[in-house]
Structures are given as C-alpha cells and as structure tokens.
Amino acid sequence: MFKDYLQGIQFVSKIGQIAESNQHHPFINVQYKAVIVLLSSWAAKGVTALDIDVAVEFEKAYEQVNHTISSSD
C-alpha cells in the first residue's frame, strides 16, 4: 500500500523500467493506493528463475519508493 496514488504510479514507473530492461513484463493492476504485480513465464507455464530475479528487483524498487515516502513525511 502506498501513501497516495502518485506514489504507486512512481513504483509502477520503476518496475516498468526494470521489466523492459529484462524483457520480462508483468501484469500490473493499479487501484488507488494499491499496486498488484503478477509475474510468471507464459512459455514455462509457471514461475522461473527469471521471475524470481525480477521480483527481487521489484522489491528493491518498492523499498526505494517506500523510503522516499517515509523521508517526505
């Protein structure tokens, strides 16, 4: 959950850049302060090592945005 809509969009922008650089694009659903991200590999019909690696990068992006939120309060 994010502080507000724009903080969630900031996160989406960060993970979009990560996804593009890895050529591995998630399903992203934005609902006001919540962002839902789903990763899987369609060709493998499940979760792969790439999904895990990208998820770790997404988590780092979340921490960066979350840190920004905490710092600006």
CATH (residue range 5-72):
3.30.1360.20
Query: Which residue type occupies 43?
Result: A
Give phi and psi for 35, each to the nearest 5: -125, 125
3-class DSSP assignment, residue 33: coil
Question: Residue 69: its pLDDT value, please?
Answer: 52
pLDDT at 71 over 70: no
Could you state, in order of their start, the residue ranges of all structural domains in the chain?
A: 5-72
What value does the mean pLDDT of the chain take? 92
Please tell me the pTM assigned to this model: 0.86
pLDDT at 38 over 60: yes
> What's the rounded Cα separation, in Å, for the pair 66 and 57?
14
Question: Residue 45: its pLDDT value, please?
Answer: 87
> What's the rounded Cα separation, in Å, for the pair 50 and 12?
19
